[in-house]
Amino acid sequence: MKHLQVFKFLVFTFILLISATSCSKDAMHDNAQLASVSVSLKSTTQDLNKVYLDIADVQIRVKQEKSVSDAWVSLNAINTGTHNVSALNEDAQLLLVNYSEIESTYVYEIRIVLDDNNFIDINETLFSLEVADKGNATPSNIVNSEFKANHMYDIVIDLDLDESISFNTSDNMMVLNAKTSTEIRDIQY
């Protein structure tokens, strides 16, 4: 019986030590300097043609000088690939970044990075959208805001498709030069 009491005492002491040392104050506040960012995409269009964009990434510019190699930081987009963006509206937005954590920093711009598989469906005929030479493969919007620690930033990028797509008569091609606006909601937690 005495062995059982010693064993209970040792187990109780072990549990007490584990619970007291596993949650240090530093470990509880490791992410105290982080901000959380969520990015969604919606579109505005009056045209009935379907527009498909090949989304590769979403990035923010955290350095004042654009040409510096580490000026743009990826937010690790989750819904990459080709999407019918003409179907996106107020009720049906495409979630591109799901609360990615970043260090508290000043954000100058946000941009969507597009790949090569962008096209428009006109009367069931697909036409490639030029983004590399005549268009813009990395449409961006100026943010100029401090992203503070312990804040969630919900960003919605609105793509105006009617203003973004044009026909270049000299090269006989459809060109995508994305016209976007950005809405940012800041929620402190």
Q: In the chain, what percentage of residues exceed pLDDT 70?
A: 81
Beta strands 151-160; 105-114: pairing state: unpaired
Residue-wise pLDDT for 38-96, tens only, equals 999 999 988 878 999 999 999 999 998 888 888 999 999 999 999 999 999 878 899 99
pTM to 2 decimals? Answer: 0.78
User: Alpha carbon of 71 to those of 66, 74, 116, 166, 189: distances in Å?
Assistant: 6, 10, 23, 30, 27
**151 Cβ contact list (under 8 Å, min separation 6):** 35, 36, 186, 187, 188, 189
Q: Average pLDDT for residues 129-156, to the nearest whole number? A: 87
